[in-house]
Amino acid sequence: MPFRDDFLWGGATAANQYEGAWDTDGKGASVPDHCTNGSHKTPKRVTPEFEEGTLYPSREATDFYHHYKEDIALAAEMGFRVFRMSINWTRIFPTGMEEEPNEAGLKFYDNVFDELKKYGIEPLVTISHYELPYALVEKYNGWYGRELVEFYVRYCRAIFERYKDKVKYWLTFNEINAGTTPMGTVLSLGTIKGFNGPVTQAPDEPAVRFQALHHQFLASAKVIKIAHEEYPQFKMGNMSIFATKYPYTCNPADVLECQKQMRIMNWFCSDVQARGYYPTYMNRFFKEKGIEIKKEPGDDEILKQGTIDFYTFSYYMSSCESTDPEITGKAGGNIIGGVPNPYLKASDWGWQIDPKGLHYSLNEIWDRYQLPMMVVENGLGAYDKLEEDGSVHDGYRIDYLRQHIEEMREAVEDGVDLMGYTPWGWIDVVSASTGEMAKRYGFVYVDKYDDGTGDLSRRRKDSFFWFKKVIESNGEDLD
Ligand code: BG6
């Protein structure tokens, strides 16, 4: 059997895209609560004030808040062993700045963890998954404000203490390396004080982004240190986007360009989080960009003391790097930029599908860190058709996942220590990049649409029954 006996099969979600109940039981507004809906063609907008008559899809999302029992029962029916979810920071600290946590918010997650336990499902909790309290954007320009480090530590202390007997696996920040690119500005860093407009036009200042990232590194390291000292039962992980890059040709100039982009996008953040220090290759990048990271005495020590126990990542696509201006002109197929790979096909949203890239990435990451790993997001965002009899025939999703699981199997055969796999949006949720419902990933269909209609009822897609079999056979039966 290539996969370990205790392999963590499950699915992933994030509170801001799934939970809804955005102002229930004392919850405050987070950045996504200020984001309107959008589409592949029209970017969603951030509005500091709520506009009457505008749809803010995260506010209701697919309403896990009121469906958690039903949803966890569905996850259990598929045989989930792990349930990746996130805690809404604003449910616990509505503005992020309170001295004391909100009891009603804490209670909600108690209920969720108890329900999971009933079925023997292990929670895997992302502490901050694009859910920054909006009040921290207004007051401190998001993570650019160093003050956020202590607010985050306070939040973590509250949830660590409360859930110390219920949660073992924690991820400090979702896709922390989103902050190395402009696309991280809104959801990941929240450095958008006063900004009103399409997310694609959010002000991009690399010096601000990388400073904000420094604060996230400190916050992550500080709470990992606390966990290691006070909660030795915890396992603390990072979470990075692994956006695999290939040289467009074997021209050594392309190979070097690819190496450079791989370092900045894919390795920088996890090098800091896994090794405990800034890699030297960033010095040149910072110099060329005129970026000077403001560090306080002791920062380097903090980074050293808070390194991760396991490495997790999202994997959806790959792209190519080229130095030829004729070729680079064609970039932009994927959300992560880069030149489309002529050997690959893309999803309806232009994300290039590359299962072998997952095999390659797992080997690369393993060779670099020798840490246990987990693929905590992967999947196909697609248009699904709900048939009159309530079925959804999503063979395309099964094909995508099957090919990726086959390649994970190959990587395990190559010697990679893989702990688990949680495909993204195992139940339909709002899309993070576009704010759509039409871009669905789930094994479970949720009756919710882009105009805000839908009765939120749940239906099993074909992929639901397929994934159940996959788990039952521990990844052997992929037919
Ligand atoms: C990752 C995020 O970027 O990809 C998720 O961690 C997100 O929050 C997922 O939903 C898929 O992206 P999208 O834009 O298709 O929802």
**pLDDT tens-digit readout, 34-73:** 999 999 889 999 999 999 999 999 999 999 999 999 999 9
Nearest to 375 by CA among 365, 367, 386, 384: 365
User: 431: CA distance to ligand 1 center in Å?
Assistant: 6
Output the pLDDT for position 291.
98
User: 291: CA distance to ligand 1 center in Å?
Assistant: 29
In a domain, 429, yes or no: yes
Nearest to 126 by CA among 58, 172, 93, 184: 172
Residue 148 tokens, joined:
């956020």
User: 429: CA distance to ligand 1 center in Å?
Assistant: 10
User: Could you tell me the CA-to-CA distances from 62 to 28, 68, 453 in Å, in that order?
Assistant: 18, 10, 11
- Give the residue, by CA position, lying nearest to ligand 1 atom 7: 432
- Give the residue, by CA position, lying nearest to ligand 1 atom 4: 432
**Residue 405 reports pLDDT greater than 60:** yes
| Helical residues (DSSP H) of 44-146, grouped into ranges | 64-78, 89-92, 103-118, 134-140
Nearest-atom index, ligand 1, CA of 439 = 15
pTM for the complete prediction?
0.98
Q: Average pLDDT in the 341-363 region?
A: 95
**Residue 332 reports pLDDT greater than 60:** no
Contact 351, 336 (CB under 8 A): no
Q: How confident is the model at residue 178 (pLDDT cuts 50, 70, 90)?
A: very high
In a domain, 375, yes or no: yes
**pLDDT tens-digit profile of 67-110?**
999 999 999 999 999 999 999 999 999 999 999 999 999 999 99
Q: What's the CATH code of the domain at 199?
A: 3.20.20.80
In a domain, 34, yes or no: yes
175's torsion region: left (phi>0), alpha (psi -120 to 50) or beta? left
Q: How confident is the model at residue 327 (pLDDT cuts 50, 70, 90)?
A: confident
Catalytic annotation, residues: 175, 377
- Give the residue, by CA position, lying nearest to ligand 1 atom 9: 432
CA distance 77 to 391: 17
Output the pLDDT for position 335.
64
Q: Classify residue 139 by burial, with Cβ atoms within 10 Å: 0-12, 13-18, 19+.
A: middle
Mean pLDDT, rounded, of the chain? 96
Which helix (H) or strand (E) is 288 found in, with range? helix 281-289
Nearest-atom index, ligand 1, CA of 349 = 15
Contact 317, 334 (CB under 8 A): yes
User: Could you tell me the CA-to-CA distances from 395 to 134, 381, 383, 465 in Å, in that order?
Assistant: 39, 13, 12, 11
Which helix (H) or strand (E) is 46 found in, with range? strand 45-46
- Give the residue, by CA position, lying nearest to ligand 1 atom 5: 432
CA distance 113 to 236: 18
**pLDDT tens-digit profile of 131-165?**
999 999 999 999 999 999 999 999 999 999 999 99
Mutate to test the pocket of ligand 1, among 39, 85, 380, 431 (most ligand atoms within 8 A of CB): 431
Nearest-atom index, ligand 1, CA of 241 = 3
Side chain identity at 295, as an amino acid letter?
K
What residues make up the domain containing 319? 8-472
User: How far from chain centre, in Å, is Cα 274?
Assistant: 18
Q: Average pLDDT in the 443-467 region?
A: 98
In a domain, 195, yes or no: yes
The DSSP secondary-structure symbol of 144 reads: G
CA torsion, ordered 470, 472, 474, 479, to nearest 10 deg: -30
**Residue 218 reports pLDDT greater than 90:** yes
- Give the residue, by CA position, lying nearest to ligand 1 atom 14: 433
Residues at CB less than 6 angstroms from ligand 1: 14, 17, 130, 174-175, 314, 377, 381, 424, 431-434, 439
The tally of domains found in the chain comes to 1
Mutate to test the pocket of ligand 1, among 240, 266, 377, 437 (most ligand atoms within 8 A of CB): 377
